[in-house]
Amino acid sequence: MAVVGGGSWGTTVAHLVSHNALTKLWCRDSEVAASINQYHKNLRYLPDFNLANNLRASVDLEEVLHDADIALVAIPSQSFREVLCQMKPYLQDGTPILSLAKGLEQGSTFTMTQVVNEELPENPTGVLSGPNLAQEVLQGFATASVLAMANESDSEQIHKVFLTENFRVYTSTDVKGCELGGAFKNVLALAAGMTTGLGTGDNTIAAVITRGLAELTRLGEAMGARRETFSGLAGLGDLIATSFSAKSRNRFVGEQLGKGRLLDEVISHMDNVAEGVMTAPVVSQLAKEYKVETPITDQVSAVVNGSISASDAYELLMLRDQGSET
């Protein structure tokens, strides 16, 4: 088993699957790899948590991918293609490649499985997604996720490698819906954070999340995803966790923007990536292409692009015409 990406989520998944299979983790940072091998801790991203003793880390992609029967890729969406191309020489045709990322590629607007299909068409692909905050998984709290692959028999076989006493995995064939749900919810988590930073109440946050989910469900359907997926773990479930948890990077960034801080200043002090920042403009672009109205997403995109403040975006949304909820 190979896991590519030594950030907080890649490390957490590597720890999980190492309970069921011999696992190697690829890290960009040699110090991170050394801390995992020597101390069984990721001292940069997850310093307070012990990792499985049998988990091994390396900065050598060939070493990590050699003879791997499954490759799990936990690379941020804007670097995903670059690292995937580096993996190519070491992957056998037919090796499943599962995305652990939750974003959309700028420019192409591709999901990560679409990137895999373009770069490695001979390799089956899928996505693991859901309300999975890394720290809570490592604390052993009950967690559920969805493994989506086009071939149901593939997902039914592969999902077993993730199962532990406290980590449950359901299967789905709606790959696009699970990927879009994971990407879209980061945008709404930014919106939820902004409303908190502006000092609004729970009523406001609930309205933003509910109306935001409705607009993104419409967009997902227009793109060929199933409506029910957005009500499941990869949609609403992930949205709840990311919008309300103090551990959520996207919520944190949104909250700081709501308080008037500059985006560059906020992210310059973060080790981990807040995917919603890069994803929001892509979602707005897709909404225009599919002719779906996404007013909340559009305002979030305008804020992260620096063309409007969070307070002005809030005022513009409040000025919108009211009509039927459905």
Q: What is the mean pLDDT of residues 116-138?
A: 97
What sign does the CA torsion over 74, 80, 83, 88 have?
positive
Question: Predicted confidence band at 286 (pLDDT cuts at 50, 70, 90)?
Answer: very high
Q: What is the dihedral of CA 8, 177, 170, 212, to 10 degrees?
A: 70
Please count the CA atoms within 13 angstroms of the CA of 104 that sit on its side-chain side: 27
**pTM score:** 0.94
pLDDT in tens, 240-275: 999 999 999 999 999 999 999 999 999 998 988 899
Mean pLDDT score across all residues of the chain: 95
Q: What are phi and psi of 60, to 5 degrees?
A: -100, 110
pLDDT in tens, 136-184: 999 999 999 999 999 999 999 999 999 999 999 999 999 999 999 999 9
The domains found in the chain, sorted by start residue, are 2-173 (3.40.50.720), 177-318 (1.10.1040.10)
185 annotated active-site = yes
24, 102, 185, 288: the catalytic one is 185
Angle subtended at Cα 7 by Cα 105 and Cα 278, rounded to the nearest 5 degrees: 25
